[in-house]
């Protein structure tokens, strides 16, 4: 069984984790094009190397960030997203748009 280090809960079986996509800067959903938003939501950079990814420890619903080599599948580091994000991201609804 592959083991992943959860920053909150410690080492756990990989079956307890859910992949959440690559960590990328979010474009402004009110200003960017549909193509840019679709690229952000649906597409990943698939080049071989170390990638920074969102993962969730499902039993505790805890989201964190992992750095993983996508060829060897070695998990190099996991850490709390507070290291990268200091503020909650809130969304405007865009209700006034036509």
Partner 1 sequence: MTSNLVSPLRCLTSNDDDRSGSLKLRDLSLATRSGVRGVHASQWLKSESLPHELQPNTIEALPDHRLLMALSTREFWLLDPDNPSGDTEPTFERTKPGVWPLYNQNSHAWLVLSGEPRADMLAKLCGVDLRSKAFPLGTVAQTQMALVSTIIAHHLWRGEPVFSLFIDQSLTDFAWEALQDAMAEFNTTR
Q: Which residues bind partner 1 (CB under 8 A)?
A: 1, 8-9, 12-13, 15-16, 57-60, 62
Closest distance to partner 1 from the beta carbon of 34 (Å): 33
Closest CA to 91 of 37, 43, 18, 12: 37
Helix (H) or strand (E) holding 79: strand 75-79
CB of 23 within 8 A of CB of 84?
yes
What distance in Å separates the CA atoms of residue 80 and residue 6, rounded to the nearest whole number?
9
Q: In the complex with partner 1, which residue's Cβ is closer, 38 or 58?
A: 58
Closest distance to partner 1 from the beta carbon of 35 (Å): 35
Sign of the torsion formed by the C-alpha atoms of 77, 87, 32 and 63: positive
Q: In the complex with partner 1, which residue's Cβ is closer, 58 or 76?
A: 58
Closest distance to partner 1 from the beta carbon of 92 (Å): 19
Q: In the complex with partner 1, which residue's Cβ is closer, 9 or 70?
A: 9
């Amino acid at each position: 069984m592959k083991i992943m280090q959860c920053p909150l809960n410690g080492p756990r079986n990989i079956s307890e984790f859910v992949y959440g996509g690559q960590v990328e800067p979010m474009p402004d959903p009110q200003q960017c094009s549909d193509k840019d938003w679709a690229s952000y939501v649906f597409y990943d950079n698939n080049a071989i190397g170390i990638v920074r990814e969102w993962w969730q420890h499902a039993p505790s619903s805890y989201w964190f960030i992992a750095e993983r080599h996508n060829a060897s599948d070695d998990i190099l580091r996991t850490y709390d997203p507070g290291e990268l994000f200091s503020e909650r991201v809130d969304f405007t609804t865009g209700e006034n748009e036509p």
